[in-house]
């Protein structure tokens, strides 16, 4: 990763933290109980009751910066990966040009008898039939 990409990634993390903070500080549209239950009263005490408008503007700018940073990092990473793949392909082509390709020797036909087992082995001569001495 280049230094520019690392710096942009650090700025992106900071913008993400800023967005999280801004979203948590903002007042809800309706003064229902949910905003007060999660610290809405503290935002009133800190920023005043009319702080919603500047916070929404800052949130919009931070969101725009977030998307611009994401696109910029994606473009930089894409160009870096293309450059590295092109250099890798060039190195492979140089290695292929330097190494001569040896042709394998011509194959000769060699007869290999098939392996035999008990199922495919030819039957041996049957044992001689026993003679019965009583029949004489």
- Residue 63: the pLDDT is 94
- Residue 64: the pLDDT is 94
DSSP at 116 = -
- Residue 101: the pLDDT is 60
Give me the residue spans of the domains in the chain: 3-98
Please list the ranges in the chain whose pLDDT falls under 70: 1, 28-52, 100-136
- Burial pattern 114-130, b for ≥16 Cβ within 10 A else e, equals eeeeeeeeeeeeeeeee
């Amino acid at each position: 990763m280049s230094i520019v990409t690392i710096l942009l990634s650090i700025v992106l993390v900071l913008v993400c933290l800023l967005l999280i903070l801004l979203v948590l500080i903002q007042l809800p549209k309706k003064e229902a109980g949910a905003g007060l239950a999660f610290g809405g009263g503290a935002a009133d005490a800190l920023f005043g009751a009319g702080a919603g408008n500047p916070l929404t503007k800052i949130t919009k700018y931070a969101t725009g910066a977030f998307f611009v940073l994401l696109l910029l990092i994606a473009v930089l990473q894409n160009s870096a990966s293309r450059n590295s793949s092109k250099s890798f392909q060039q190195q492979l082509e140089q290695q292929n040009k330097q190494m001569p390709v040896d042709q394998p020797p011509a194959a000769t036909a060699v007869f290999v008898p098939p392996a035999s087992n008990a199922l495919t082995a030819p039957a041996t001569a049957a044992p001689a039939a026993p003679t019965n001495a009583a029949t004489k």
